[in-house]
Amino acid sequence: MKKIVLTGGGTAGHVTPNIALLPELKKSGYDIHYIGSYDGIERKLIEEFDIPYYGISSGKLRRYFDPKNFSDPFKVIKGFREASSLLKKLNPDIIFSKGGFVTVPVVLAAKRRGIPYIIHESDITPGLANKIGIPFASRICANFPETLNNLPANKAVLTGSPIRKELFSGNKIRGLEFCGFTANKPVILVIGGSLGSVFVNDSIRGILPTLLENFQVIHLCGKDKLDENLQKTPGYVQFEYIKKELSDLLDCADLVISRAGANAICEILALRKPNILIPLSAGSSRGDQILNAESFQRQGFSYVLHEENLTNITLLEAINTVYKEKETYINTMNHSKLLNSIDTIVDLINEVIEESKTKI
Ligand SMILES: CC(=O)N[C@H]1[C@@H](OP(=O)(O)OP(=O)(O)OC[C@H]2O[C@@H](n3ccc(=O)[nH]c3=O)[C@H](O)[C@@H]2O)O[C@H](CO)[C@@H](O)[C@@H]1O
């Protein structure tokens, strides 16, 4: 039986593509193991699936000053030792790394032990963790065609991002019932990224009374970001994070307002949802979401509202415009080609294992 270790974590965007691969990997007969951090979101998300999970120490690598910069490198070294002894014990045929800081010790340990690994990059420009692993990776999967320019041509493959199959089988009625909504008013689904976004939350809550005159609002606001004062507002529901009901909520949404995390926007596109993207600003990140959002805007899939331009007025205008022009957006999205990412990635995994056997 072939053995694979999946790794990725820190935010859900570094985990849900791994989850999307699970059914196909199981069908292909893989013995699947997961390495994540001791207490990251990946642990909670993976624990629902029947696969062994191993926690390791994880330290963040930052490009800016933070007192933790003194302690985190030691965590990475500890994580490397832990990953190395885990890989010795598990002896997998291959590792699939979805990115996030916890993957750095794993891919470095894989390199040391001569275990081949594949990296997947969801964003247009590779994140720091993936950049560290790229030079020794057997293949690098890219989500955006633009990313190929930043990757070694002999290893880069355009695969798109694996999307969980169950997201395509949502049910509108179930979604409305789950929220206690009626079918009389259109529904806006707000997704502030997997961790939630204070900026997006405040922006939506700031226009809520006006919004609720014409819409019902489902708000995925992130852990510890519920607003108790709004709990009983008719036509408004808030959740910290939604797992299995997400497909139903997406199905009943007439419009989605979202951060521009690479996975969320690919899911929104795949489900043909008219959308407004509010990318995380360059001041708080490397600017990856701005590039993701601008790519979608150029292709006519999204209306983009940058943080610096967002006011109550511009947000309401954006909502009214996109809702009015929703058919145009849907038509444009209908012309986008959905890549068969899951099958392509599983084929690549098989290919790299075969290659590694011939090298021995
Ligand atoms: C702050 C930060 O570092 N954000 C990065 C992070 O975002 P983040 O983790 O938010 O990633 P994405 O938006 O790409 O993916 C979020 C995933 O969580 C799922 N989901 C979300 C909310 C919910 O309630 N339930 C649920 O299942 C979405 O369906 C999606 O599959 O990784 C992305 C992919 O590398 C990057 O583009 C983002 O810039």
Q: What is the pLDDT of residues 12-31, one digit of tens each?
A: 999 999 999 999 999 999 99
Compute the radius of gyration of the chain from its Cα atoms: 21
Q: With the C-alpha atoms ordered 63, 67, 72, 74, is the resulting torsion angle positive or negative?
A: positive
* CATH superfamily, with its number, for domain 166-334: Glycogen Phosphorylase B; (3.40.50.2000)
Closest residue CA from atom 25 of ligand 1: 242
Of all atoms in ligand 1, which is nearest to the CA of residue 127?
35
| Burial environment of residue 31 by CB neighbours within 10 A (0 to 12, 13 to 18, 19 or more) | middle
Q: List CB contacts of 41: < 8 A, sequence separation 6 or more.
A: 9, 10, 11, 12, 15, 194, 195
**77 vs 178 pLDDT, higher one:** 178
Q: What is the C-alpha to C-alpha distance for residues 13 and 42, in angstroms, rounded to an integer?
A: 10
Mutate which of 263, 268, 275, 295 for ligand 1? The one with the most ligand atoms within 8 Å of its CB, which is: 263
| Nearest protein CA to atom 3 of ligand 1, as residue | 11
Residue 12 CA to ligand 1 center (angstroms) comes to: 5
Q: pLDDT per residue over 180-191, tens digit each?
A: 999 999 999 999
CA of 259 to the centre of ligand 1 (A): 8
Distance 77 CA to ligand 1 centre (A): 27
Asked whether the beta carbons of 267 and 168 are under 8 A apart, the reply is: no
Give the β-pairing of 94-97 and 117-121: parallel
Closest CA to 152 of 177, 191, 173, 121: 121
CATH architecture classification, 3-160+339-359: 3-Layer(aba) Sandwich (3.40)
11 annotated ligand binder: yes
Q: What is the pTM of this model?
A: 0.94
Give bridge partners of residue 34 from the DSSP assignment: 6, 53
Stretch (H or E) spanning 159: none
DSSP 3-state of 316: helix
DSSP string, 236-297: EEEES--STTHHHHHHH-SEEEE---HHHHHHHHHTT--EEE-PPPGGGSSSHHHHHHHHHH
Instruction: State if residue 264 touches ligand 1 by the CB under 6 angstroms criterion.
Output: yes
263 CA: nearest ligand 1 atom: 14
Rounded-to-integer distance, Cα 82 and Cα 350, Å? 26
Q: Do domains 3-160+339-359 and 166-334 have the same CATH topology?
A: yes
Long-range own/partner contacts, residues 279-283 (CB < 8 A, 24 or more apart): 279/304, 279/306, 279/307, 280/193, 280/197, 280/307, 281/306, 281/307, 281/308
Cα separation values, 70 from 62, 108, 300, 360, Å: 11, 21, 44, 40
Ligand 1 nearest atom to the CA of residue 16, by list position: 31
Q: Report ipTM (2 d.p.).
A: 0.97
63 is in an annotated binding site: no
Write the pLDDT tens digit of every residue in 317-331.
999 999 999 999 999
Does the CB atom of residue 123 touch ligand 1 within 6 A? yes
Digit-coded pLDDT (tens) for 42-60: 999 999 999 999 999 987 7
The residue ranges of every structural domain in the chain are: 3-160+339-359, 166-334
Length of the chain: 360
Residue found under tokens 């750095």: 104
Confidence of residue 304 (pLDDT cuts 50, 70, 90): very high
Nearest CA to ligand 1 atom 36: 261
List the one residue out of 338, 260, 331 whose CA is nearest residue 300: 331
Percent with pLDDT over 90 in the chain: 88
Q: How far is the CA of 85 from the centre of ligand 1 (A)?
A: 30
How much distance in Å is there from the Cα of 262 to the middle of ligand 1? 7
pLDDT digits (tens, 9 = 90+) for 170-215: 999 999 999 999 999 999 999 998 899 999 999 999 999 999 999 9
